[in-house]
Amino acid sequence: MLDVLITRGYLVTMTGPGTGVMENGAIGFKGNQIVVVGKAPEVEREYKAHRFIDATNKAVLPGFIDAHIHTGIAIMRGLAQDVDHWMQKGLWPFAAGMTKESVLSGSLVNIIEGVKAGTTTFCDYNANMREIVKNHLLVGTRARVADEINEMPEKVSKQEVGELYPLDPAVGQAKLNESVKLIEEWHGQEGGRITCIFGPQGPDMLSRELLLEVQQLAEKYDSMIHMHVAQGDREIDQMVKRYGKRSIQYLEDLNCLNERLLAVHLTEATKEETQLLARRKAAMVLCSGSIGIIDGIVPPMAEFLEMSNRGALGSDQAPGNNCNNMFNEMKFTAILNKCRVRDPKVFPAWQVLRLATIDGARAIGLGDEVGSLEKGKKADIIMVDLTNPNLVPTISQPVRNLIPNLVYAARGNEVETVIIDGRFIVEDGKLNTVDEKEAALTALAKAAEMAEGAKENVLAQRPTLLRLTEEGYY
């Protein structure tokens, strides 16, 4: 007896070389595990279920993998775009006003935003992760979390652009200890739904010694390393000033380019650097919306995919993306890459859907558990209502338009049901686990406090934004 049988829908299994579409398909699960995937008539004949869901006119997909997200800075949504030097000039003046409460309330709303748009696995990468991880428990999401490790002193928000940051080994050691505690306390919790990896913030933000220590610990715990790499001209400038070489050569010389590395952005990486990373079997995360808005750059995922299938997508952050929705990421990834090389054939819909599901799952090291609809995998399943006006019509003969519609036309609000680890987290578009309205109202109140706390810094450091606000542009 199955717990749930979802049948007569368009199954997008993400098996095989493409998207593995099966019309009139059925999927059944028991507990947190998928038991059967097949054609509806046969599965309905062979299996009984406690709950039967008719998925006529619905697409049934594996939940999306957001391979890079900082939910802890979502409280600053909308405060750091249309600016150069995004981190120093955009983000840091506001970051000074954040408190533990504002971080946590923003994170909770951010996770709700993602899950309602079909994200089931979050690679959440932030400071204070031992607290933030509890939000994933509240919402019921699958999370692969990392606590950011850096050696940046507290007063870094006063740093001038171009100045070499001071690194403080005491800060680094404290943050490394936090990471180890996170792993010891949380890795494998909730029946394996929560996993923990290491998260050095970037090769420029911690010393060589500390990075090597992280690498050793990653071997000891058999963990991946989630890290920003070549994430902007700021990082390259710091690396050249401090070590006389660019980020990827530096990591190559330290033997840090390997299958443990989940390298994020590569905004400033050359083709040669990107392909060296691919040859060394590291994974790459592309954050198209974020890097488009904060840098005006299309990172070299095309070059990476020439050599590797370990590519993933991430929504990065809300202060400068400004949304955390994998439909948005898929669409931006396709459009920006087509525009970059003036060729509509590159980054076809089926390929970006793979990046957001099965390929992303493999890149983050969870390919055996999630990312496709297959017997034995975890029941992380979403259902998309194809009768939404923007998804009409669905055509099956002589060709299918389902995958292009999902990638180019869907917006996320068409996600009707989200199942994670066999549990119904979203039903009829409503979140079952957390009071969404209350979470939003709490975040609004905390954001006002954050803005008040950051006021002095913002007055001193964001004169252009102040003027544009006063003159009614923003």
| Positions that interact with Zn ion (CB under 5 A) | 316
Q: Which residues of 442-472 are buried (b: 16+ CB within 10 A; e: fewer)?
A: bbeebbebbbebbeebbeebbeebeeeeeee
For the CB of residue 229, give the shortest distance to Zn ion in the complex, in Å: 11
For the CB of residue 418, give the shortest distance to Zn ion in the complex, in Å: 24
d(CA 432, CA 121): 17
Helix (H, G, I), strand (E, B) or coil at 51: strand
Indicate the residue among 66 and 316 with the shorter CB distance to Zn ion.
316
For the CB of residue 332, give the shortest distance to Zn ion in the complex, in Å: 16
For the CB of residue 320, give the shortest distance to Zn ion in the complex, in Å: 10
Indicate the residue among 2 and 294 with the shorter CB distance to Zn ion.
294
Indicate the residue among 35 and 67 with the shorter CB distance to Zn ion.
67
Indicate the residue among 228 and 378 with the shorter CB distance to Zn ion.
228
Instruction: Order the strands of the 119-126 sheet from edge to edge.
Output: 64-69, 119-126, 142-149, 194-200, 225-229, 261-265, 283-286, 311-313
Indicate the residue among 263 and 426 with the shorter CB distance to Zn ion.
263
For the CB of residue 290, give the shortest distance to Zn ion in the complex, in Å: 7
For Zn ion, the nearest residue by Cβ is 316
277 close to 248: Cβ distance less than 8 angstroms: yes
Q: What is the DSSP string of 408-427?
A: II--STTEEEEEETTEEEEE
Give the helix/strand (H/E) hosting 170. Answer: helix 169-186
Indicate the residue among 62 and 292 with the shorter CB distance to Zn ion.
292
For the CB of residue 125, give the shortest distance to Zn ion in the complex, in Å: 6
For the CB of residue 293, give the shortest distance to Zn ion in the complex, in Å: 13
Indicate the residue among 266 and 410 with the shorter CB distance to Zn ion.
266
SS (H, E, C) 222-289: CCCEEEEECCCHHHHHHHHHHHCCCHHHHHHHCCCCCCCEEEEECCCCCHHHHHHHHHCCCEEEECHH
Q: Which of 374, 331, 379 is nearest to 355 (CA)?
A: 331
